[in-house]
Structure 1
Amino acid sequence: MDRPNADEEEAAAAAAPAMAQAAAPGALERLLHKATDPCNPEENWECIQKISDQVNADANGPTTALRLLEHKIQSPQEAEALRALNVLEMCVNNCGENFHHEMGKFRFLNGLIKVLSPKYLGEWSTDRVKSRIVEVMFSWTVWFPQEVKIRDAYQMLKKQGIVKQDPKLVEDKVLPPPSPRPASSIFDADGEKSKLLTRLLKSKNPEDLQAANKLIKALMKEEQAKSAKVSRRMNAIKEAHSCAEALEEMLSGCQAREGAAIPKPALEVLQGVFAKGEKLKPLMFRVASETVEDEEALAEILQANDRLTQVLRLYEQRLGPSRDSADTTGTIPPVTIYERNGLKAMLHFARDPVSSCPATRVLVLSLLSTSPSPVQHIVFQAAVPKSMAIKLQPATGSELPAFNPLSAPAVISQVLLLANPDKAPLRLRYRLLFSQDDQAHSEVGEVTDFPHADLWGGS
């Protein structure tokens, strides 16, 4: 079987002198010999636990452990190979991202592939060992989609007919118990689940160990969902900045032409980027609704959204709205709640509720100024009836500079979380405080014309 192309780092590591493997056995190697000894009548869980602790304690632990495990998995003794695979799964459960990244490199994956491939060790490897390797690799494609080389290697095995079909993952298979994790781990995030898991893992009852395995998988699925949210957020922020930067550069080029007509090809490209920016706005609100518990991450979203909003308004200011940009299906029209003294305040509505609290809706307040004077000391306050609750997240700023028709207007954003468990008619009273031309302003108002519940969040 052809070896997948590895990056330079992996190639260099693969070509390292064999003397490293001939070094005197260390603590990790001794533990692994003991844990995989085929003469043991049953799994040595205490020894397996120590292996994960040792891997976590050593900066080179993941690399060393995987090199040793590769040799054990290739053992001609079925019992030794199967126990090595159990140790491997235990390390996957316990040893974090560094271990996952190392196991997702071709230099380790090729060691597993050799056991399966008839060109290498597959002729004499037992069916039980090969089945377990296929099951392990398939489970990694499910749990660690970010490790793309695992997926590539598995798909290559399928393409070459070595893997005939995806295995059915066994839900009640007893996995090695996890070792203590960092405080930030999902296994400690829920106090009750953490206590239950600890109790189940200490039990000698096989049914309790099966229940612990299912709980571990459920917690890993929760962590995977969180990772997916983080990925969506980072991609949305990156796209918003990229789109804003492209529009800024193109609009700057238009300004340099001193009012000359924009060539049709350039105009079409400009309109396309503007349309993409318009479609990004509802995505920004969606990821904001998923991130309300993390104020630092929420601030990053709002900053990217502010930049995007500024440059989209600059486009409309210079060229007018694009006829092709309207997408009546991720946009809910904003409600203007205040527009005087050159200051405009609008409420935008996210379609999706807060994932952890379906009765809570996300609103984003946008403040813009067309005033020739700076607007300073801006504070927005809000109140709702007693049957509801509202929480205001920190705003992205408190000042708006004087309006400049040649640059994108500044924007201040602020997220409002509105809970309405009784689904009562929505009402919101607000006070907008600001100073302008050395004069203090205190403006009050009430908002009742919220979007229909079926359109906004489906409450």
Structure 2
Amino acid sequence: MEAASARAAARDRWGDLPSSSRTPSQLQRFVQAACSPENYEPNLALNLEIADLINSKKGTAPRESATAIVNYINHRNPNVALLALGLLDICVKNCGYPFHLQIGTKEFLNELVRRFPERPPMRPTRVQAKILEAIEEWRGTICETSRYKEDLGFIRDMHRLLSYKGYVFPEVRREDAAVLNPSDNLKSAEEMEEEEREAQSAKLQELIRRGTPEDLQEANRLMKVMAGYDTRSKTDYRAKAAEEVAKIQAKARLLEERLDAFKQGDTMQDGDVFSELAASLQSAQPKIQKMCEEESDDHEAVAKLLEINDSIHRTAERYKLMKKGDMEGAAKVAAGAPPPSAPSGAAVASSSSAANELSLIDFDADATSNGA
């Protein structure tokens, strides 16, 4: 009886959506449309639009959407539940920490497994299997690799509880889980600061919503950090950006070493270690340009960044030439000849407007005419 009362109280807290007593919000209407029983398959465009709306609205949007989605996951129509689980997966993989914080709450997780029997069935339903797969995926990714993994402990607890009860988690495909692992893309100091500010804001809002004495004490400490009063917890974003640049340099050196060890008869293919390293260098180029703009008053820092940029460009161009089979052109680049479409450091440093209009390196430029 007490268990039934607790479940009823949880449903009252989360509320069935949409409610006839109030006008549903735009976000709730979108979720309702995405999970409509009239849909025979997921509406990917609408699901992504919902994720974009959550990211743009911020504030209460992550909780509002998580609340709506988990109600549809518990719908009696399994097709509706599967549509809701597909939408949940899109939001988890596109809405970042503010949404992860919501799926990591006790309320959400208890609602997620509300229809699970005390003892596992001989064979789980499709909905149960998808829920188990989701929890397994979260436990192996954001609960281990996220910068804010300490806030996701209830996901690990739920995983342990279900395992103890005898539920078996399916194996998660590596390519599906990879999306949730931290990206190694270079971030500028400004981007890192903005990312942390959004995470702190989301956590502050959740702490205040929960409202326990411990939560309010933590909220007070967090507000001091956000306001700049607690300098002990202040992050040096420029130093962190420098660490990120150093990682890119290490990748450039590793690619150089592999290119030096490349022998006649060896091959390069899309998806191999060569292409992965080159892709990382390519994605770093616009970020290095952004860093040059942010550090425009520090001429020494700009000069260093431009030097790093030239080195990365040389390595990437050498890879492109070798992949095309132009070993002679690649050897010239390795010997110190200017690589094709080399950026002009002076031009970038002297004109910020030009930097805004033109990438430091055009990786799409045709290098074939420069190889011979």
TM-score (norm. length: structure 1): 0.36
| Structure ranking higher on relative contact order (CA contacts 8 Å, 6+ apart) | 2
Structure 2 length normalisation: TM-score? 0.44
Higher helix share: 2
Q: Which of the two has greater strand per residue?
A: 1
Larger Rg: 1
